[in-house]
Structure formats: structure tokens, C-alpha cells
Amino acid sequence: MRYWVETLGCPKNHVDSDKLSGLLGGQGYVPADSAEEADLVVVNTCAFIESAREESIETVLEMADRKLDGARLVVTGCMAERYRDELADALPEVDLVAGFGESLTTSTPVTLGQRPKSDFDLLNLPRPAATAPWAYLKIAEGCDRRCGFCAIPTFRGDQRSRSTEDLLTETRGLVASGVKELVLIAQDLASWGNDRRRHALGEAVEVLDEGGTQPLVELTRQLTGEVERLRLLYLYPSGLTTSLIETILATGVPYFDLSLQHVSRPHVRRMKRWGDGDRFLERIDAIRRAEPNAAFRSSFILGYPGETEDDHSQLLEFVEAAQLDWAGFFPYSAETGTTAASMADQIPMALAMERLREVSELQDAITARKRDDLVGTTQRLLVDEPGIARSVRECPEIDGVILVDDQIPVGSMVDCLIVGSQGTDLEAKLA
Ligand code: SF4
């Protein structure tokens, strides 16, 4: 029997798909070359915002058209978990809607309103050998925070961190299959391990500590020796302690993906989040003082309820002052089950989009300047695929890339001179 997995959404979903592939492989399935040749077609959906949900539905319908007559079509992932009954009802083309941890191959039809028990834990499933010289490593699932705009905790649940032993085992397996760069992901990466520590101590433990006892610090130190490059994504700003900064710098990958969302203090509080622009700039300056070549990425939401002109001006000033290498801007989308969905002062989408365009233009110019500044420097590159490489400054699948000679073997680490820039991408020649 052959299977095909079509994946939408964020890196966390891609790791889930890898694990589902590993599970299907263990059940005797082999990967098909295309959806048209598979006996089992799985769509791993995303439910992040309205546009992601629309894309997920379109993909399910497209797969229904493309699959073989008689092949089984299964929908899983965040949308399946969140809208199980509605999906089963609205999509008669689908044979099974399977939430997290539910079998994709069971022949039991879905009964509306009934929640099947978990058959497996995706987090701890083995995954197949890597197909690229880099891989995501999902270190926790769920989130203990309750940001006003985010529905993830309502369907992914509270944080569950994987154990250090599991993570070391998975890391070693990935490195043995050729992985040179590991990208750590979780909903709230900097809080990794706090749930385990709380359970062990039987009490709430303050997340913010400066004494080097933040669990992620210890994990990062342990993983650093296992793989050539270690990159950390999705750092909630209050978790960016001095010891974590020092530990990240010691990995040799001075890349900081700060999950900021906004900078105006009253607006950040409306979002039920920590911090403000001044604190964020202070952290960024401290990192640059320690490592002038540090690279920064962040993401921001435009048009969250209550956002004033003054809040927006503060964001523009911050973006100008911070000079981030990369930033993503997203329009607010009201999500069922969140506090923001029922807040007064909803912002019209047209205004949110106007603000988004303004701040994106500003950031695009900053990103282009930062890319130009790299011309003439020598960077150590990891070749991801023929002709495509990255330095420590580019995260896979999110940032720009570096174009190199397509004869340089995939998986090699080479020193290259940056000779040109084209938008977000750079061109390099062997040094
Ligand atoms: S920290 Fe991230 S995943 Fe957790 S509630 Fe906030 S936005 Fe959602």
C-alpha cells in the first residue's frame, strides 16, 4: 500500500507529517511518488487564520479530485482537531477526519460528536531518515500562555515538553542520517521544560530566572555538541534571559527569532503578553554588544482590537530603531475561543491592511540594506540543495537563501565570498 502526505502550515506541522510518515512506514505503507498513485492520501491541515483554513479546504478538495478511485482520503492536523464535526459534515469526499494522535488507517467511520481516544503520541513517534541536511526538532507541544489572539492552547492544550533523553535520541538519529543543522521548534520554545520541572517539584516555578537554571539553557548546551548547527525559533521575549542569550551565542548560530507581536505597552497588555518596545530594544542592543553579527527575526500582528494610531506609530518607530534582518507582518484574524474575538474596538480589515503595507515597506527597505551590507563578506554556508545554500543568518524555509555553484555537493559546509544581492537572496562564490 502506498501513501501520500500533503502538508500545510507551519514547521511544527511538517514535523508532525514526518512522524506520520514514520508511523505509516511502520505499518507497512511505502511512500508514493505522487498523490495520484497513492492508496492513502493524508492532508495535514492548518487552522491558524482564515486564509490558512481556506487553503486547507482547497487542498482537501484538490486531493479528492486527484486521488485514485477507491483511494482513502484522510484529513488530520489542526483543522481536523478544531473543526472535526463541521469538516466531517461539510466534506463528504473525506473518508476520515482524524484529530491529533488518532489512527489514519482505521476503518471505523467517524461518528459526529464522538471524540475518539488517542492512539499514539505524535511528539514521541520515531521519524524517518532526513531528506535534507537540516531538520526541525519539535521539543514541546502546546502552550501554557493565553495570548489574546491565539487559539492554539484551545486545541493543542497546555505545554508538554519532551524529555532530554528523547530529544538526544532523535537528534542522534537525524545527525546519523546526514543532518548538519537542527532547528528547534515549539509553540513557546523558551518555556521548554517548565512543565516537567513544575510536575517534579509539585509547585509553580517562576519562568524568568537569571541563574542558568532555565531548562532550555541546559538542553541547548547538551544539543550544541551533537550537531554542527543548532538554531532556536519562536522565543517569547520574557524567556530571553541573559543565560539563554549567552548559550545561544555559544552555539555559533547567533540567530534570534523573537516572537514580539507588537511593541506599544498598553497594546501588548491588551494582547495579554509581556514586554514593550523599550525592553525589546534593550535586549537586542545587549545581544549586538556581545555579538555585532547577530541576526534577528520577529513577527508582528497588525489590526489587533484596540490598536490606535499611536500604537501603530510606536511600531513604525521600533522597526526603524531595531533594524531587524527579517520580520513577518500578519493581519489580525478573530479566532473562535480567544479573548480578542469578543473585544470591543475591532479594527476594520482595510485599516489593518493599510498599516501592514506601511510597516512592510519600511522593513523591506531595511532587509534589503542589511542584505547589501553582506556583499564582500565571507560566510560559512551549508548547501541545502543543488545551487542553494544558507549561512547562519538565514533560517530554512522562512528567510532568503544564498545562490551558489550547483556543483557544490549538497550537505557540504563551505566558505564562500558574497558577491551580490538580489532582493532577499544573495549570490556567493567559493572563497
Ligand atoms: S505564546 Fe504563542 S502559542 Fe502560546 S498562546 Fe501566545 S501566541 Fe499562542
**Domain with 263 in it: what CATH number?**
3.80.30.20
Identify the residue whose C-alpha is closest to ligand 1 atom 8: 150
- Domain identity same for 350 and 412: no
- Domain identity same for 76 and 185: no
pLDDT of 409: 97
Q: Which residue, 31, 12, 222, 22, is CA-closest to 130?
A: 22
- Domain identity same for 382 and 368: no
- Domain identity same for 82 and 133: no
Which segments in the chain show pLDDT lower than 50? 107-117, 205-212
Ligand 1 center from residue 151 Cα (angstroms): 8
- Domain identity same for 209 and 287: yes
Q: Is the CB of 239 under 6 A from ligand 1?
A: no
Tell which one of 12, 48, 145 to mutate to probe ligand 1, the residue whose CB is within 8 A of the most ligand atoms.
145
Q: Which residue, 349, 373, 397, sits at the end of a domain?
A: 373
- Domain identity same for 194 and 167: yes
Q: How many CB atoms lie within 10 A of CB 212?
A: 14
Ligand 1 center from residue 143 Cα (angstroms): 6
CATH classification at residue 91:
3.40.50.12160
- Domain identity same for 159 and 51: no
pLDDT of 106: 63
Identify the residue whose C-alpha is closest to ligand 1 atom 3: 187
> Residue 129: inside a domain, yes or no?
yes
For the chain, the domain total comes to 3
- In DSSP terms, which residues pair with 96 in a beta bridge? 74
Ligand 1 center from residue 2 Cα (angstroms): 36
pLDDT of 209: 46
- Domain identity same for 229 and 357: yes
pLDDT of 208: 44
pLDDT of 87: 87
- Domain identity same for 243 and 275: yes
SS3 189: helix
Q: How far is Cα of residue 293 from the mean position of the Cα atoms in its chain?
A: 23
Q: Which residue, 82, 97, 112, sits at the end of a domain?
A: 97
Ligand 1 center from residue 186 Cα (angstroms): 10
> Residue 194: inside a domain, yes or no?
yes
Identify the residue whose C-alpha is closest to ligand 1 atom 6: 147
pLDDT of 129: 76
pLDDT of 120: 61
> Residue 128: inside a domain, yes or no?
yes
Range of the domain at 404: 378-430
- Domain identity same for 19 and 135: no
> Residue 399: inside a domain, yes or no?
yes
> Residue 45: inside a domain, yes or no?
yes
Tell which one of 139, 143, 333 to mutate to probe ligand 1, the residue whose CB is within 8 A of the most ligand atoms.
143
Q: Is the CB of 159 under 6 A from ligand 1?
A: no
Q: Which residue, 302, 301, 299, 298, is CA-closest to 355?
A: 302
> Residue 107: inside a domain, yes or no?
no
- Domain identity same for 349 and 398: no
- What is the phi/psi pair of residue 385, to 5°? -155, 170
Q: Cα–Cα distance between 18 and 127 in angstroms, integer?
A: 6
> Residue 252: inside a domain, yes or no?
yes
Q: Is the CB of 24 under 6 A from ligand 1?
A: no
pTM above 0.95, yes or no: no
- Domain identity same for 209 and 355: yes
Q: Which residue, 237, 242, 189, is CA-closest to 216?
A: 189
**β-pairing verdict for 72-77 and 30-31:** unpaired
Q: Which residue, 97, 131, 158, sits at the end of a domain?
A: 97
> Residue 176: inside a domain, yes or no?
yes
